[in-house]
Structure 1
Amino acid sequence: MNCLFNSLKILLSGSLFLLSSYVDGYSQEARLANIVSSFESYTKTTSQEKIFVHTDKDFYVAGEIIWFKIYCMDAASHKPVVLTKVAYLEIISESHKPVGQAKISLSLGTGHGSLSLPFTLTSGKYKIRAYTRWMKNFSPEFHFEKNITIVNSLVNLDINSAKRLPVYSIHFFPEGGNLVEGIQSKVAFKITDQFGQGVEGKGVILNQNNDTLAQVEPFKFGMGYFFLKPEPGDDYNVQLQTNDGKTIRGALPDVYSQGYVLTLENTDANTISISVWSNVPAAGNSPVYLLAHTRQVIQVAQAQNLREGKALFRIDKSKLGEGISHITIFDKNGIALCERLYCKLPEQKLLIEASTNQPQYHIRQKVIVDILTSTSGRKPESTTMSLSVFRLDSLQQPEPSTIQRYVWLGSDLTGTIEHPDYYFSHSNEEAEQALDNLMLTQGWRRFRWEEILQNNTPSFDFVPEHEGHIISGSITDKRTGLPASATTYLSIPGKRIQLYGAISDQNGKLVFNTKDLYGENKLVLQTQSQQDSILHITIDSPFSSQFSTRAFPEFLPSPLHLGLLADQSVAMQVQHIFAANKGNEFSYPPVDSTPFYHTPEKTYRLDDFTRFPTMEEVIREYVQEAGVRKRQGKLHFQVVDRSNETFFTKDPLVLLDGLPVINTDKFFAMDPRKIEKLEVIPRRYFWGPLIAEGILSFTTYTHNLSGYELDPHALIVDYDGLQQKREFYQPAYEHESQQKSRLPDLRNVLVWSPECNTGASGKKQLSFYTSDQTGKFIGVIQGITRNGEVASHTFTFEVLGE
């Protein structure tokens, strides 16, 4: 009997164990699935963008033109973003003041433009930054940034100014996030100066008793690591001496009495292992979860139970995507505990080749360049590219920023990345260690896990510009300063009728969705009500007011550069004298000049009829679709509702050269002889948030309102729309007379071709002429395919004298 009882007891215990294991397994799967589902839901609603900017060169003198090409791509796939229609580019000074701004039209993910550098600029380091309106919803660390040098050669350059004293700092980055008592951690560090450049030196980690616990010495570019096992009650600090004899002291991050630590190791060429350690008593044998995603695409999701405070995950490297992967550990409740970056540099799938028809040329001689784009398997590949050819000297060096280096590293890391080409051009253990140090010290994330796992729909302040440039503003009550609600018109008087409307929200915000708004414009904003004297309208700047934390590099002019600066200054001035008009020719993009109401039902050209002395008589005598009535002592227009064969009961939308007429008394007082034509829409019309019960659109002969007095409460704003394309000037020397022309040609940029694209054959040939400048020239090509493969290429040639 006892035997039977014991057998039943064992069987029952086994069944309970199996049931418990099943429940735990199901719970683990459910929790992991919930984390994955929350992450995927978030990424679907928060697609992100990257921008890369190719400039013609990196060194300029004040008065020159900066030429640039913008590549806008999806942050996950790197494919060109076809929906976003506008990008914003700025040149900012060290004090974050813009010295040049442009709104650039994008088509199929690319756009190009130029900016003239003012002659009044101060010599120094500047940054070019670029972003889209959608990118303004996220950290400015996402914005593209590139360092350039601008020298005002018309002002004496102070080459004897004292070099700024270095300011050094050291920062610590425990692997996974935190230091925990009793658990050994890898602690990465980075030593930098105030310009973000890595600093070399040696030092030690000390406890409160001045016991040496670890040696500190950067491995490369100021970055390195050491191991430390924090003990209860101990404090830790660093004492380090740089190679120039400066001493750096600092404290390590706080040590937690309980927590989790993550360690990543390369098990072999194909596998990495992730060890998770914990001293949290409540953790017990509870599960922990690992999620690895590459550019917000989940690659690996696993669960493991802690056993004696440790869990081990093994990941096949082939399962991780190319580029930077985020590896995050969660506890049993789905709370993010540790995070680590791992980088798998991509294989080069796009190849760009280019060669000139000869290695050396004379001045004013024709250069022919053949370009071939193909896959790594030598299959021709259609590629969108830009090309710059410029002179090399000690001022102007080869461009350090290439599209692949930025896309695969710079866009997903924070801070200054020194010599990004090093990580791509070396494939030994030393380079792998340097790359891992970069992941440990400059890693960052594009989101907050707390927000993701709450499954809340994110809200954004800036909607993407999928149709055209968005102009935003706000409207307030002058008496109280509080937001006001009103229907507001934004119009641009002229030959092309442009009218946009907006109804302010509860916060008084206005959003106008424009289309094909190019060049300099005069915006007129007015509310629908004639009692608008109590309302105040403001227009927002579309440029971001947030800036990244990336340091500006140091500006150190050298006496050795004075001769070259003088030559470049003369070249710039000569070009302004002899080719000023050539550098200011703009092309006008094709735009739809049809009014927003498209084809009117009836058009009256007033010269075809008897000219009457008043506007009232014009309408009454021969405009069949409209009438005039008097209400409360004021004249009002009426438009026929063709659908119901009656008059609309409300006033129609009346336009004069595209400007809504709010005060009809002023309009009826106009001389009708200034009106060229009247277009009539005898039906209800919907235009964005606006609803018009018929439209009467009057056009003057001058298209500029012909003296019509604007409402004194209207807001008139000078506003730059999308930039018109400036034509890059490159003279041709096809004939002997042109070659012998006495007009100087001192161009140091021979070619700027922002649309140097190859078709299905992968081939492109272009030609240009050398200038009167001699020396070594370099051609720089940047490119992207429709599938998001990126590449760059350089070629060189020499120009000799006669």
Structure 2
Amino acid sequence: MSKQLKLNNVTLTIFTLCLWFLGNYPVSAQNSVQLPKEEVIVQVVNPVSLTEEYLWMNVTVTTDGQPSPSKVIYMELLDRNGISVVKDLAELVKGEVNSYLMLPSDLPSDHYLLRVYTRISPYTSGEKGVFQSLVSIINPKVPPIITLSLTLGEGSTAMSLEAKYMNTKDSLLEVAIPMANATDISVVINKTTPFDNVKTALNHTQMYPVETDPNPTLVPELFGHIIKGKLLDNVIDTTEVFFLTLHGSQSHMFIDKPNEKGELYFETGNFSYYDYAIIQTAQTGQQVNFILTSPFWDKVPDENFQLPVLNLSQNDEEFIKEKILARASHQYYVGPLEIPKAPLPFQYITDYSYALSDYNRFVDMATTIREYVPMVVVRSQNRKTIFKNFNIPYNLVFKESPLLVIDGMPVFDSEAFANFNPKGIESMDIINRYFYINDQQFTGMVNLTSFKNDFGGFDLPKNALFITYNGIQKPFQYHSSLEYGNNNHFPDFRTTLTWQTNKETDENGNLNFSFKPSRLKGKYLLRIQYRDGLNNNLKTSQYSIDMK
């Protein structure tokens, strides 16, 4: 039998106390410190896009000119009625991330308002804390208004980039532009569109004139995403423990107690990718009266704010055809690459581990544990099967029952756990000592992990609350088409020729970069966003490039 005693009691106690401190600090101590004022800076790569494309953006959040300690950025698209129709979260690393919004296939053609912010920046930083921009989305299946003869525009009116700044080398165009004193440079080249000159006033004070909640509870996300819950009971028991488990490709468990307002804050740390949440208490006889509150900013623009109407003329038919061609090319040439991340190990240090495939399988967990796990005692009490873990450091059996867990979800019905057929269970981990989650002490654990992270067929608790709740988006890398070289099997019809971030000038004060043209000829718009080293102001320069 494969067993291993992994840690002595002193080491485990120190480890669990550290977990308790890290888990509690964001919700208990952060409110007592001065909250930072943040500036949210965004460069939208493709502000005119089709549905079923990625809306890419480079996001930078600073505090006093330094990377913000916030770990999560919020992105959303609002329609002309102020309804958030697309939203997502991304992880900030040293105050920066290349993130995206996936544009769904059923999104109507229209102009939308893009908002980007952190958990606290709309409340602490005003206009600088909320980036806003106009984004134009075209759905070929739900086309915009088509006018008979009106031509909406000739695209950008930016000045032409002089030929002396460009040089052809093999299949690439090399660019060198004088930009002395420029830092934090980002470069994007897109084909011009009829909407490049469409503007709308985005005055923060006029758009959000009324402060609905002057004293909100603000919790900066310094370690990861914080999930906020709210009890709906008339009487709040601040001693009751709530268990929240998050499930996706992996699972994780978190606990908290409500404050006097019935609010709970679950600090998820570096556990980022999940699809739904399960909320329970140890009171198996009653339904959980609980909701998860949206972490997104709930303010909507004033009713006097109006997005412009998206129109196209019959003369813009070629533009639509090029965008459809480009959508297919982008999926091939610059389609996002998922950045792999190692799965998180089991969140607790165990004393014994069992791979159940190494043993003959029994039809229920009670028999399995009774036959193979000598450090867990199976007993009958009041006609109900219960479990008691052996306490290794004290060389005795715990009086209280252990925490029973399947795929991160606690099970408080020991009889259901005992009768459960473990045919879908891959492994079992045992903790034979006190361990802690936040300030809660538990007398050991019996943890089951299924093959498919589907609870192994266990019937989920009837009193539990199941809520769809997406975590932080999986990181993708937008890569340059330079990696592909020439390809005659798939024509290159990209309308976004390059996107490069964190560029710096050379010793002569020149910005140097290269890109590969596509087969689509015509005018392209080069947008360079940078910070002026003389006054630290954020600026954007635009140049027109005629690709013949």
Give the TM-score, by structure 2 length: 0.79
SS of the counterpart of 2:67?
coil
Secondary structure in 2 aligned to 1:773? coil
1:367 and 2:179 aligned: no
Partner of 1:660: 410
Query: What is the correspondence of 1:113-128 to structure 2 with a 5 Å cutoff?
Result: 113-128=99-114
Query: 1:42-71, CA deviations, whole angstroms, 9 ceiling, x for partnerless residues?
Result: 997243222122101443444543211112
- Measure how far apart 1:520 and its partner are: 4.8
Are the aligned partners of 1:490 and 1:525 in contact in 2 as well (CA < 8 Å)? yes
Which of 299, 310, 315 is the aligned partner of 1:546? 299
Q: Is the 8 A contact 2:431 2:446 kept in 1?
A: yes
Q: Deviations over 1:707-753 (max 9, x none)?
A: 11001121222221111234436534976x63xx2643332211223
How far apart are residue 356 of structure 1 and its match? 9.0
Would the aligned equivalents of 1:657 and 1:698 in 2 still touch at CA under 8 Å? yes
Alignment of 1:698 onto 2:448: yes
2:119 to 109, 114, 133: 133
Retained in 2: the 8 A contact 1:780–1:792?
no
1:473-552 equivalent positions in 2, closer than 5 A: 473-477=229-233, 482-483=235-236, 485=238, 486-493=240-247, 496-533=250-287, 535-549=288-302, 552=305
Query: Is 1:594 aligned to residue 341 of structure 2?
Result: no
Q: Structure 2: where are the runs of 5+ without partners? A: 1-30, 151-160
Contact 1:67-1:114 within 8 A present in 2 as well: yes
Retained in 1: the 8 A contact 2:506–2:512? no
In the alignment, does 2:60 pair up with 1:71?
Answer: yes
Asked if the contact 1:613–1:672 (Cα under 8 Å) also holds between the matched residues in 2, the reply is yes
Mapped partners of 1:115, 1:588: distance in 2: 16
3-state DSSP of counterpart to 1:756: strand
Q: Give the conservation status (yes or no) of the 8 Å contact 1:602–1:681.
A: yes
State the Cα distance separating 1:466 from its structure 2 match. 0.7
CA shift digits 1:757-792 (9 cap, x unpaired) = 449989985432111222232332334699994544
Q: Highest CA radius of gyration, 1 or 2?
A: 1
Equivalent position amino acid for 1:134 in 2: I
| Structure with more contact order per residue of length (Cα contacts < 8 Å, sep ≥ 6) | 2
- Paired with 1:706 and 1:589, the residues of 2 have a C-alpha distance of 26
Aligned to 2:48: 59
Q: Which residue of 1 aligns with 2:494?
A: 747
Deviations 1:511-530 (A, max 9, x none): 11113344451222211221
**Which residue type is aligned with residue 65 of structure 2?**
H
- Partners of 2:526 and 2:220 lie apart in 1 by 35
- 8 A contact 2:144–2:310 mirrored in 1: no
Secondary structure at the counterpart of residue 471 of structure 1 = strand
Instruction: Mark the CA change 1:721 to 1:43 in structure 2 (over 3 Å): closer, same or farther.
Output: closer
Give the deviation of 1:796 after TM superposition. Answer: 3.7
For the residues of structure 2 that align with 1:398 and 1:669, how far apart are their CA atoms? 65
Partner of 1:468: 224
2:432 alignment partner, SS class: strand
- Distance 1:367-1:518 versus aligned 2 partners, 3 A rule: farther
- The alignment yields a C-alpha RMSD, in angstroms, of 4.1
SS where residue 224 of structure 2 aligns?
A: coil
C-alpha change, 1:501 and 1:384, in structure 2 (3 Å) is: farther
Q: Per-residue deviation at 1:629?
A: 2.3
Cα contact 2:71–2:91 (8 A) shared by 1: yes
Task: Choose which of 775, 778, 783 in structure 1 pairs with 2:522.
Answer: 775
Q: Give 1:603 deviation, angstroms.
A: 1.2
The 3 A distance-change label for structure 1 pair 768 and 661 is: same
Q: State the match for 2:17 in structure 1.
A: none
The 5 A counterparts of 1:610-759 are: 610-728=360-478, 730-732=480-482, 738=487, 741=488, 743-753=490-500, 755-758=501-504
| Structure 2 Cα separation of the partners of residues 568 and 728 of structure 1 | 24
* Residue identity opposite 1:68 in structure 2: M
1:626 deviation in Å?
1.9
Distance (whole Å) between structure 2 residues aligned to residue 593 and residue 357 of structure 1: 52
2:275, 2:471 within 8 Å by CA — same for their partners in 1? yes
Which of 125, 146, 163 is matched with 2:133 structurally?
146
Distance 1:104 1:116 in 2: 12
Structure 1 residue 553: Cα displacement: 5.5
Does the C-alpha gap of structure 1 residues 786 and 772 become closer, same or farther in structure 2, counting only changes over 3 Å?
same
Name the SS of the counterpart of 1:630 in structure 2. Answer: strand
- Give the superposition deviation at 1:375: 4.5
Instruction: Note the C-alpha offset of 1:643.
Output: 2.7
Q: Distance in 2 between matches of 1:723 and 1:512?
A: 18
Deviation of 1:582 (Å): 6.0
| Contiguous gaps of at least 5 residues in structure 1 | 1-41, 163-353, 377-382, 402-409, 417-441, 449-457
| Aligned-pair CA distance for 1:355 | 9.9
Does the C-alpha gap of structure 1 residues 553 and 161 become closer, same or farther in structure 2, counting only changes over 3 Å?
A: farther
SS across alignment from 2:61: strand
- Asked if the contact 1:355/1:371 (under 8 Å) is kept, the reply is no
Question: Residue 568 of structure 1 is aligned with which of 298, 302, 319?
Answer: 319
> Which letter does structure 1 place at the counterpart of 2:502?
C
Determine the C-alpha separation between the residues in 2 that align with 1:395 and 1:636.
68
Q: In the aligned structure 2, how far is the partner of 1:662 from the partner of 1:676?
A: 21
In 1, Cα distance between equivalents of 2:41 and 2:339: 25
Contact kept, 8 Å, 2:48 with 2:193, in 1: the verdict is no
Give CA-to-partner distance per residue, 1:17-64, whole Å, 9 cap, x none: xxxxxxxxxxxxxxxxxxxxxxxxx99724322212210144344454
- Within the candidate set 188, 192, 195, 1:392 is matched to 192
**Contact kept in structure 1, 2:251 and 2:453, CA below 8 Å:** no
The alignment covers a number of residue pairs equal to: 503
Q: Which residue type is aligned with residue 323 of structure 2?
A: M
Displacement of 1:470 after TM fit? 1.0
SS at match of 2:456: helix
In the alignment, the residues of structure 2 paired with residue 589 and residue 400 of structure 1 have an alpha-carbon distance, to the nearest angstrom, of 39
Question: 8 Å contact 1:583–1:726 — kept in the other structure?
Answer: no
Q: Give, in whole Å, the separation in 1 of the partners of 2:242 and 2:173.
A: 56
1:85 CA drift (Å): 0.4
Residues 333 and 492, structure 2, Cα contact 8 Å, conserved in 1:
no
Aligned residue identity for 1:606: L
Letter in 1 for 2:346: P
Q: C-alpha distance in 2, partners of 1:629/1:532? A: 26
Indicate the percent of aligned positions where both proteins have the same amino acid: 21
**1:139/1:792 CA distance change after superposition, 3 Å:** closer
Q: In the aligned structure 2, how far is the partner of 1:139 from the partner of 1:550?
A: 23
**What is the SS of the residue equivalent to 1:45?**
coil
Displacement of 1:84: 0.6
Query: How do 1:396-407 and structure 2 match up within 5 A?
Result: 396-397=196-197
Contact (CA 8 Å) 1:67, 1:752: kept in 2 or not? no
Q: 2:390 and 2:506 mapped to 1: Cα distance?
A: 56
State the TM-score, normalized to the length of structure 1: 0.55
> 2:91 maps to what in 1?
105
What is the Cα deviation at residue 795 of structure 1? 6.0
